Amino acid sequence: MVGSWDKKIKFALLSIVSNATLIIFKVIAGILSGSVSIISEAIHSGMDLVASLIAFFSVRQSAKPADRQHPYGHGKIEHLSGIAEGLLIFIAAAMILMEATKKIYEPIQLEHANLAIAVMLGASLVNLLVSRKLYKVAREEDSMALEADALHLKTDVYTSLGVAVGLVLIKLTGLLILV
Ligand SMILES: [Zn+2]
């Protein structure tokens, strides 16, 4: 039990560290490139960080043994973590949409395109690796919180990739950023 507890905590921490790192890189790339898509992605990673913190605390809490108030143990809290994660994704999506519609009316030129593309491709790869690892551990340890985080990060692989593809098109065609 102690061994699996350690493992769940460790991988919940991995998600926190990777999301925090992604925020830093996306903020830098967003500011340097002036791309609202990347700034939106940074906001998104901020939400991901909150989600991974919730997963971390629920994994830690669920490992507590049953007591008088919780005769069946603390495993149920991982379900709440999954629900919270879903809500956060929804909020992040709404915020990104708001940012994007604002920018449609004030298009800007893309700067440091190569750096911006590299950061988004890197973010996509990091999320791919982290989500795969988390999913494997979630299955092994039967952890709902880690599984929710893993599935979420798996969808983030495609959002980052989508932004990267958009930036490549902008670079190739010389178009202004519209989204
Ligand atoms: Zn996300």
Structural domain boundaries in the chain: 2-173
Residue-wise pLDDT for 48-107, tens only, equals 999 899 999 988 888 777 777 776 677 777 777 778 877 877 777 777 677 666 655 555
* pLDDT for position 179: 43
Q: Rounded to the nearest whole angstrom, what is the distance from the C-alpha of residue 137 to the centroid of ligand 1?
A: 19
Q: Rounded to the nearest whole angstrom, what is the distance from the C-alpha of residue 66 to the centroid of ligand 1?
A: 32
Tokens of 124: 């996509």
Whether residue 174 is predicted with pLDDT greater than 80 in this model: the reply is no
Whether residue 128 is predicted with pLDDT greater than 90 in this model: the reply is yes
pTM of the predicted protein model: 0.80
Q: Give buried/exposed letters for 49-58 (b at 16+ CB in 10 A, else e).
A: bbbbebbbeb
Q: Given this structure, which CATH class describes domain 2-173? A: mainly alpha
Q: Rounded to the nearest whole angstrom, what is the distance from the C-alpha of residue 163 to the centroid of ligand 1?
A: 13
Residues with CB under 5 A from ligand 1 (ion): 48, 156
Q: Rounded to the nearest whole angstrom, what is the distance from the C-alpha of residue 71 to the centroid of ligand 1?
A: 34
Residue-wise pLDDT for 88-100, tens only, equals 777 777 776 776 6
The DSSP result for 23-71, as a single string, is HHHHHHHHHHH--HHHHHHHHHHHHHHHHHHHHHHHHHHHTSPP-SS-T
Q: Rounded to the nearest whole angstrom, what is the distance from the C-alpha of residue 173 to the centroid of ligand 1?
A: 29
- pLDDT level of residue 176 (50, 70, 90 thresholds): low
* pLDDT for position 67: 76
- Position with higher pLDDT, 79 vs 120: 120
Look up tokens 């998600």; give the residue: 15
